[in-house]
Amino acid sequence: MENTLHIIGGGMAGSEAAWQAAQAGVQIVIHEMRPTVETFAHQTGNLAEMVCSNSFRSDDDEQNAVGLLHWEMRQANGLLMEMADAHQLPAGGALAVDRDAFSNAVTERLRAHPNVRVEEGEITDLPTDGHWIIATGPLTSGALAQSIRAETGADSLAFFDAIAPIVYTDSIDMSQAWFQSRYDKGDTEEERKAYLNCPMTRDQYDAFIDALLAADKTEFHEGETAGYFDGCLPIEVMAERGRETLRHGPMKPVGLTNPHQPDVKPWAVVQLRRDNALGTLFNIVGFQTKMKYGAQTEVFRTIPGLENASFARLGGIHRNTFINSPTLLDDQMRLKSRPNIRFAGQITGVEGYVESAAMGLLAARLAIAELTGKTLPPVPATTATGALVTHITGGAEAKTFQPMNVNFGLFPPVEGLKGGRRGRKDRYKAYTDRAKADWTAWLAG
């Protein structure tokens, strides 16, 4: 009994974690509340249900970070990748699957495994002893969320994400943008230059507001509520409240001097803030949005300096329960205040089916090592799995932490390669070659 691993939540992360640990000989109990307790998004009582799209996104393991994550999970004999491959649908370069066949197959494989027991029912309190992985996802039940909140503090658990778009630093045109904090605030040179600023003339601002108002927006999912809006209004809603609202809010031009044109006062300024310790990613401050992805790229590329911006991720606002992993978790994915509990999946602040499953895979491997008296070395940050876990457990800015997809901006740069769009193909190939070698070595070790 001592060595039983309990997993709360049989979604993407919990299912993969259960498989990895069961295959290693560990006794597993999956505690899944569905179908007894439902969420607004899940439709079945199956494990690993895909709640919305039926795509695991790009399967290109040479040029795409999520494709690389597929590759890494396949190398680690991941159940979800095996089942996704078995139930693949034609979708060009993407890995789309027959969602019912996929989740039925995952459920059958896990239920048939001699080391796995599925216990139906909601867990409402943080467990006090034993070995646990919490993988309850973006729709973690209210009672458990409150219990997590009581342990971690109110500011450490969010119920919604409010994601501003994130841009690759090397795609920003520095002949137009400049580094400066408002009023040059800060004790160090780094703090005084913490923001990147993109200036707008009056005409550019007017055109930007028109584009925002006209853009296609997504609706909230049924069961979601817009009641959380205070403090994180989508920019298009701010624009609807008045054409000047943004210019007096996140786009105010005060306390900034454009070194490229010191005599011209910008009418508005878009600010970007560093998003990771590596400095490879910047988020657009206050630009959470419900605009559709195509509209976002179009509208944001009208911002001077961002005409050629590459987006590591686009903005969004969703119902999403997630913890402040950079402050709460150690590099073994354990809750620092209760090391018998690991977190995995979307609740750790990764975003997406694949990323969640990958964090389940990793949490299980770390737990297996601990149960068998070993400590695994940290996963190299040069791998897709390692880049993600390094980001959520330390690389990300804790104060502004928001869920993250895997992307090459999370990877330590490969030295000596050309930056920008032109060098992209070679750069991505170098990242994925390095990742494959390092992941293979880590799995073997």
Ligand X SMILES: Cc1cc2nc3c(=O)[nH]c(=O)nc-3n(C[C@H](O)[C@H](O)[C@H](O)COP(=O)(O)OP(=O)(O)OC[C@H]3O[C@@H](n4cnc5c(N)ncnc54)[C@H](O)[C@@H]3O)c2cc1C
Binding site for ligand X (CB under 6 A): 8-14, 31-34, 39, 41-42, 51-53, 122-123, 135-141, 144, 221, 319, 345-347, 352-353, 356
Q: What are residue 133's DSSP bridge partners?
A: 7, 342
* 173 Cβ contact partners less than 8 Å away, ≥ 6 residues apart: 304, 305, 306, 307, 308
Q: How far is CA 130 from CA 1, 121, 339, in A?
A: 9, 18, 10
Burial class (CB in 10 A: 0-12, 13-18, 19+), 192: middle
Least distance to ligand X, CB of residue 96, Å: 11
In whole angstroms, give the CA distance from residue 329 to residue 204.
Answer: 43
Q: Based on CB atoms, which residue is closest to ligand X, 115 or 146?
A: 146
Q: Based on CB atoms, which residue is closest to ligand X, 15 or 432?
A: 15
* 240 Cβ contact partners less than 8 Å away, ≥ 6 residues apart: 213
* 188 Cβ contact partners less than 8 Å away, ≥ 6 residues apart: none
Residue with tokens 């330590």, as numbered in its chain: 412
Q: Based on CB atoms, which residue is closest to ligand X, 49 or 169?
A: 49
β-pairing, 131-134 with 5-8?
A: parallel
Q: Based on CB atoms, which residue is closest to ligand X, 247 or 319?
A: 319
Least distance to ligand X, CB of residue 40, Å: 7
Least distance to ligand X, CB of residue 49, Å: 7
Least distance to ligand X, CB of residue 54, Å: 8
**Which residue number has the CB closest to ligand X?**
11
Hey, what are 105's tokens?
């197959």
Q: Based on CB atoms, which residue is closest to ligand X, 225 or 308?
A: 225
* 7 Cβ contact partners less than 8 Å away, ≥ 6 residues apart: 14, 17, 18, 28, 29, 30, 31, 132, 133, 135
Q: Based on CB atoms, which residue is closest to ligand X, 305 or 352?
A: 352
Hey, what are 398's tokens?
């804790």
Least distance to ligand X, CB of residue 314, Å: 13
Phi, psi dihedral angles at 387 (to 5 degrees) = -60, -40
The count of residues in the chain is 445
Least distance to ligand X, CB of residue 34, Å: 4
Least distance to ligand X, CB of residue 147, Å: 9
Q: Based on CB atoms, which residue is closest to ligand X, 33 or 278?
A: 33
